[in-house]
Amino acid sequence: MHWLVEEALPSRARGGGGPERFRDENTANVIVGTVCEFLNFGIRMNWVDPELAGQLTEPRYLRYLPKGFNPGENGQHQMVRSRLLKLRGVDLGIEWLTVEQIARLIDVTRHARDRFLVLLLWCTGMRIGEALGLRREDMHPLADSQVFGCQVKGPHVHVQRRLNSNGAWAKSRKPRAIPVTADFGICYADYLHERSEVPQADFTEQVLVNLFREPLGRAMTYSGVKGLFDRLARRADLIARPHMIRHSAATEWIRQGTDRSVVSDLLGRMSESSMAPYVHVDEGSRRAAVERADARRREMAR
- The 3-state secondary structure of the chain, one letter per residue: CCHHHHCCCCCCCCCCCCCCCCCCHHHHHHHHHHHHHHHHHHHHCCCCCHHHHHHHEEEEECCCCCCCCCCCCCCHHHEEEEECCCCCCCCCCCCCCCHHHHHHHHHCCCCHHHHHHHHHHHHHCCCHHHHHCCEHHHEECCCECHHHCCCCECCEEEECCCCCCCCCCCCCCCCEEEECCHHHHHHHHHHHHHHCCCHHHHHCCECCECCCCCCCCCECCHHHHHHHHHHHHHHHCCCCCHHHHHHHHHHHHHHCCCCHHHHHHHHCCCCHHHHHHHCCCCHHHHHHHHHHHHHHHHHHHC
**Averaged pLDDT, 14-39:** 81
**The model's pTM:** 0.72
Distance CA 212, CA 200 (A): 12
Residue 240 has pLDDT above 80, yes or no: yes
Q: What angle do CA 38, 39, 44 make, to 5 degrees?
A: 95
Residue 174 has pLDDT above 70, yes or no: yes
**Averaged pLDDT, 132-151:** 94
Identify residue 249 by its one-letter amino acid code: A
Q: What are the φ/ψ torsions at residue 16 (nearest 5 degrees)?
A: 80, -175
Domains of the chain: 3-83 (no CATH), 99-251 (1.10.443.10)
Distance CA 98, CA 283 (A): 12
Distance CA 175, CA 19 (A): 45
Least confident of 113-127, 221-235, 283-297: 283-297
Note the pLDDT of residue 92.
58
Q: Please compute Rg for the chain using Cα positions.
A: 24
Q: 168 near 219, Cβ under 8 Å?
A: yes
Top-confidence range, 27-31, 204-208, 247-251, 260-264: 204-208
Residue 211 has pLDDT above 70, yes or no: yes
pLDDT grade, residue 26 (50/70/90)? confident
Residue 81 has pLDDT above 80, yes or no: no
Residue 6 has pLDDT above 90, yes or no: no
pLDDT grade, residue 276 (50/70/90)? low
